[in-house]
Structure 1
Amino acid sequence: MKKLKEFDINLVGLKDKKHEYDFVLDNGFFEIFEQNLVNGGQLTAHVEMDKSPLLLNFDISIKGVVNLTCDRSLEEFDYPVEIHQNLLIKFGEEEVELDENVLQITHGAQKFNIAQHLFDFIGLAIPMKKLHPRFVADEAEEGDILIYSTAKETGETENEAGAQEENNDPRWDILKNLSKN
């Protein structure tokens, strides 16, 4: 796990001020994690950490491309990624995740490893449906196609069909009269 240690941020002896770190996120970075989300990539992460006695405020910018596999054709393609996230680390009695981007670590913590958080931010930037760029335009056109409708074949719309059913049921007329009073 030597590669994982490259993402350690030593907290011991750091003064209360802004500190900047740059990380290269290449294929070796993605091999650290047991995952099948990303085939590889070439990204850079710029991390600004503002240290104070009570917390660490991380401002994270990640730019580059990740290599994905198309869900439709199983062809690999490069997907551009540009991420800007904040991560807040508070000092407390125990290590716990307080919120989505808010963590708590112990006061005596000597280092903080940021690798998992960088990977998570990249994972959140990847779309659920991974499509090769040549299929994206086709997908947008297909989005307007009606697959199934409950309307009758007479050409009436679904709203018209529902309105006719409401008018034909006498139980609804009784309820409508109650609401008018």
Structure 2
Amino acid sequence: MKALHPYDIELVQLSNKQHEFDYELDDRFFGLFDQTLVNGGHLKAHVTLDKSELLLNFTFHIAGTLRLTCDRSLEEFDYPIDTTQKLHVRFGNEEVELDENVLQILHGAQKINIAQHLFDYIGLSVPIKKLCPQFLEEDENAVTDEDENILIYSSSTAPETDEDDDDEGPVDPRWDALKKIK
């Protein structure tokens, strides 16, 4: 996809040392992905690449604000994020994701595109329950005010004791013999 070319890192042109890249991520960036997680935002991404003969170590630092939709009121609100993630890329005979933070690319790879990684790391920063700040404060206060009124479910009808329970009905005589061993 041609729109993702600004997020290509040309590996052939880079020497084996540390390199730094800066990206501005805005509504156009989020429009490149078919998604409904984020409405837009304004973020800055600082990417550090430590390149060696066999390994590429990326450190992504992403900070700024996202525009999300509140799950309760369906209003848009700004959500601040500040995250740092690491990605390790090694060279091999095939392109495969070995782990969530470890990739393998071909030995002769000329470039690597980091757009999807940037989007994924932003997505990891989005909370599962997206609430406007006023609702978030209400939820936090509700939990602390009602701590005394929490119901704990118990299926037993009587409190547990360490004493022998003789009122449960007839007991198998084999258990009586075992109790005498105490």
For this structure pair, what is the TM-score category when the shorter chain's length is used for normalisation? Answer: 0.7 to 0.9
Query: Letter of the aligned partner of 2:159 in structure 1?
Result: A
Q: Rate the CA distance shift 1:161–1:141 in 2: closer, same or farther, 3 A.
A: farther
Instruction: Supply the distance in 1 between the matched residues of 2:79 and 2:157 (Cα, whole angstroms).
Output: 44
Q: Does the alignment pair 1:107 with 2:99?
A: no
- Find the counterpart in structure 2 of residue 120 from structure 1: 120
Structure 1 counterpart of 2:5: 5
Counterpart of 2:159 in structure 1 is: 163
Normalised to the residue count of structure 1, the TM-score between the two structures is: 0.84
Once the two structures are superposed, the pairs formed by residues 1-181 of structure 1 within 5 Å of their partners are 1-143=1-143, 145=146, 150=153, 158=154, 161=157, 163=159, 167=165, 169=168, 174=175
Instruction: Provide the C-alpha distance between the structure 1 equivalents of 2:125 and 2:168, rounded to a whole number of angstroms.
Output: 50
Structure 1 gaps, min length 5: 151-157
Shift of 1:14: 1.5
Paired residues in the alignment total 170
- Give the 3 Å change call, closer, same or farther, for CA 8–169 of structure 1 in structure 2: farther
Indicate the SS of the match to 2:3.
Answer: helix
TM-score between the two structures when normalised by the length of structure 2: 0.83
SS of alignment partner, residue 41 of structure 2: strand
Q: Cα distance, 1:164 vs. partner?
A: 5.2
Cα 1:131–1:165 shift into 2, 3 Å: farther
SS in 1 for 2:159: helix
| d(CA) in 2 for partners of 1:132, 1:165 | 48
**Unmatched segments (≥5 aa) in structure 2:** none
Residue 149 of structure 1 deviates from its aligned partner by 5.3
| Percent identity of equivalent pairs | 52
Distance 1:162 1:9 in 2: 68
* Cα distance in 1, alignment partners of residues 159 and 93 from structure 2: 61
> Which letter maps to 1:137?
E
Tell me the alpha carbon deviations over residues 114-154 of structure 1, each in whole angstroms, 9 at most, x when there is no partner: 0000100010111000000001121113335467654xxxx
Q: CA RMSD in A?
A: 2.6
Q: For the residues of structure 2 that align with 1:100 and 1:10, how far apart are their CA atoms?
A: 23
Cα separation, 2, equivalents of 1:10 and 1:161: 70
Q: CA deviation at 1:12?
A: 1.2
Closer, same or farther in 2 for the Cα pair 1:16/1:143, shift >3 Å? same
